[in-house]
Amino acid sequence: MASEAAETKKKAAKKVTKKTAKKAAKKTAKKTAKKTEKKTAKKTAKKTTKATAKRDLGVYNLVVVESPSKAKTIKKYLGKGFQVVASNGHIKDLPKSKLGVDIKEDFAIDLVPITGKKDKIERIQELAKDAQEIYLAPDMDREGEAIAFHLAEEIGKKKKIHRVVFNAVTKSAVNAAIEHPTELNSNMYNSQKTRRVLDRLVGYKISPILWDKVQRGISAGRVQSVALRLIVEREDAIKAFVPEQWFSIEGEMAKDGTAFEVKYYGEEKTKKTELVDQTLVDKIVSDVKGKKFNVVEVKKRERKQNPTPPFTTSKLQQEAANKLGFTAKRTMMVAQKLYEGVQLRDHGMQGLITYMRTDSVRTAPEALDSVREFIDKKYGKDYLPTDPIMYKKKGSNKVQDAHEAIRPTSLELTPDEVRGDLEPDQQKLYELIWNKFISSQMSQAVIDQTTVTFEAEGHFFKANGSIIKFPGFRTVYLEAAAEKASKKGGNDDDDDNDSADVKSGILPDIEEGESIPCSKNPEAIEHWTSPPPRYNEASLVKDLEEQGIGRPSTYASIISNIQDRGYVEKIENRFMPTELGIVVCRMLVDSFPDVMDVAFTARVEEQLDEIEEGKVNWKKFLKDFWSKFEVTLEKAKEEMKNLKSQLIPTGVKCLKCADGEYMIKWGRNGQFLACSNYPDCNSTQDFKKDLQGNIHILPKDWFHDPCPTCNKKLEVKKGKFGRFVRCEDYPQCDTTLPYTLPINCPECKKGKFAEKKSRYGKIFYGCTSYPDCENALWSKPYKFDCPSCGYGIMGERVTKREGHQLQCPKCKFKVDWEDTPFAKESGDHDEHPGA
């Protein structure tokens, strides 16, 4: 009986299981069918959308450029029948995770799509499928040529592909380029590949050695490391400099109500005497005191000063640094916008300048005609030379070359005409380029110079005077160096070496044979020779160019890189190497003398030019380089000093213990000061150096909350991934936390906002309850209820057009910063007043 009941139960259970399984299977089948239906519908919709889009496009040619703003401008010029798409720079590159160069296989390169560019490549391929003709129009330099080759590889239809280049983004230049397309330049691409492979070999092979010997995360670069060497060697020269004493003797005279300066010249009328002997100086001053000075020679001459060529990239960077205070990076970013196109209220989208990466000084014939007509109309015939001025590059006999100098694209778009349409930086740089170009085709300046030589008691003195008789090109533009000399009252050039150190001014009418007394007796002034100055933006760019390190288009990134890596810092607008920069530079010079050699680096640039011209085989060049470099690498691995174990004494006493001295030490986040008595004393400090090399301990940046482990203070530190907080008692208490703002997340009501860095280095603020709460903001949050929707926080926002504001992350409502309580605070946003 019991067994029958059990059997019945079993059967019933089986029935239920079968039913459940059937139900589950039905449900699964239903779900799968639904999913498949959805997928199919999505695919169909996508196909339909694509088909509709294709139908809407009609018959078209495709133009691919580098930047979206340039695409917008060009689309406007070409109109119907053309689709213009931007690649947003390079689409393929060597992989970041590995070397990507197979040395054994004849330097075969493994190019992969750049992260985030897959959709862009697919979009270009899609548009290319139905295009009648494809015009690849990236920039006209080596990098642009590489982008064009990569695009051609991805598109694949060789017959339909043309290469087009234009020096300016103007309607005439773009249409002319489309009408006269060229072919892809394999020599130019080979040159770019060679540079890329060289940089990869140097960077990826040397950097791991530096990680092992110095500090994780630092790196070496083929060109950047040589630029660092210039700065370090300049610092060495400053430290080694021994000042020497010298004197000048200066007095003052007056005639017909005009005062002028006289300065001691020498013991002979035609030979300068250097004043380094105090006894001689005292004798001269004593001899001439109260005496009349006899005029022995009055030399008058007319000097003509020539205008200088329009800007090359490096000259633009130098002048923008000197006259506008722009960094090289800022100059290039602003110039890029002016080149690609700016929206003008009366003229639409217009490219305002020609291509800004050039070392040419040539101007196109039609532009010469234009500027001459403009000068004649605005300034008159006296300001216009008889013939156009033809400039040629230093060290080159070529007046003609493929590129042009940087100039305005249209002389109708004067700086006044575009004022109000341009941002302040754009206006300033455009005016600089405009004035330089106009002045480059104007007449010479004519300057009357007078040098008067006096004699008193056998000692000779001189006075200089100059008057600008005709300003010529100086009416429009004077280079920063000449402008500085003019303001100081000195000569604009050094034609007359004998009197170059005598200040110029306006002289009265003086004749030979006259005797003039001093209104102020000559006095001795003590001087000391000065060390060479530290580099600023302009002088570093000048030296990089003169020594052939890198190319004008790379100067901005070179300067940025050595600062970003912590090798160099900018103090009072001058570049100063950090301790890390100095030691890394010395270690690289010792272990890699060729790579760090200025002449070798310059020669590499010349050979890259020769590869571009088809004179040198790129693979042979790389083989020759690698055969020597490989030997040096192995030697460096064995012989390079291990800096991690080294400490540099500073002479600064420890603030925590009685007899300790702070030593410079390297940690994974850079340099810091550590007590020599470690581990007995664990005092550490952050520091900075001034221009004299003195160490200044930085005040501690304390966090708003105590340590959750030991209740001591938490200190704010800077690391590779941004700010973090660490217990002051580290390493005894090893509590390390993310840097958080004292604001509760309005979404989960539990977490706070932690400051984080994206993989691209951009700061964002994410909830500490992640992944349970995914609330994150790109802008800095403040505890301020949105007046519109009541959301508990608003984000900081600063734009050129609308200024400083808070904006609600939810409804985008904006509040002016001045109308918030934070505007009245001290400005220390990190403490978040009102939080």
As annotated, the active-site residues are 355
> Nearest-CA neighbor of 205 among 633, 641, 636?
633
**389 contact partners, CB below 8 Å, separation of at least 6:** 307, 440, 441
Decide: 595 and 225 in contact? Cβ < 8 Å. yes
d(CA 110, CA 124): 21
Contact (Cβ atoms closer than 8 angstroms) between residue 649 and residue 675? no
> Which residue, chain included where needed, has tokens 């550590």?
674
Kindly list the distances between the CA atom of residue 234 and the CA atoms of 226, 238, 564, in Å, as whole numbers in the listed order: 12, 6, 20
Cα–Cα distance between 354 and 178 in angstroms, integer? 17
Q: Distances from the Cα of 255 to the Cαs of 108, 265, 506, in angstroms?
A: 80, 21, 11
Exposed e or buried b per residue across 277-301, where buried means at least 16 C-beta atoms within 10 angstroms of its C-beta: eeeebeebbeebeeeebebeebeee
Cis, bond preceding 309 (omega within 30 deg of 0): no
What are the tokens at 143? 């990098």
Q: Which tokens is 752 given?
A: 């706070």
For every residue of 710-770, which 3-state class applies, written as one string?
CCCEEEEEEECCEEEEEECCCCCCCCEEECEEEEECCCCCCCEEEEEECCCCCEEEEECCC
Element of type H or E holding 704:
strand 702-706
C-alpha span between 218 and 754 (Å, rounded): 26
Helix (H) or strand (E) holding 136: strand 134-136
Q: How far is 47 from 189, CA to CA, in rounded Å?
A: 37
Give 661's strand partners: 653
- Torsional sign, CA 48, 53, 58, 59: negative
Helix axes of 579-591 and 618-639: crossing angle, nearest 10 degrees: 110
Integer CA distances (angstroms), 430 to 44, 75, 316, 324, 484, in order: 51, 24, 11, 12, 22
Say if residues 657 and 683 touch (Cβ distance below 8 Å): yes
Strands 776-777 and 763-767, how do they pair? antiparallel
Residue type at 100 in one-letter notation: G
Per-residue tokens: 331: 């100059």
Q: Pick from 130, 121, 119, 123: which is nearest to 56 by CA?
A: 130
CA distance 617 to 253: 69
Distance between CA atoms of residues 784 and 834, nearest Å: 8
For β-strands 292-305 and 574-577, DSSP reports them as unpaired
Instruction: For Cα atoms 516, 519, 521, give the angle at the middle one, nearest 5 degrees.
Output: 95
φ, ψ (nearest 5 deg) of residue 449: -115, 135
How far is Cα 733 from Cα 754, in angstroms, rounded to an integer? Answer: 22
Compute the distance between CA of residue 662 and CA of residue 675 in angstroms, rounded to an integer: 5
Count of helix runs (H) and strand runs (E) in the chain: 19, 37
CA angle 498, 499, 505 (to 5 degrees): 170
Antiparallel, parallel or unpaired: β 258-266 and 348-350: unpaired
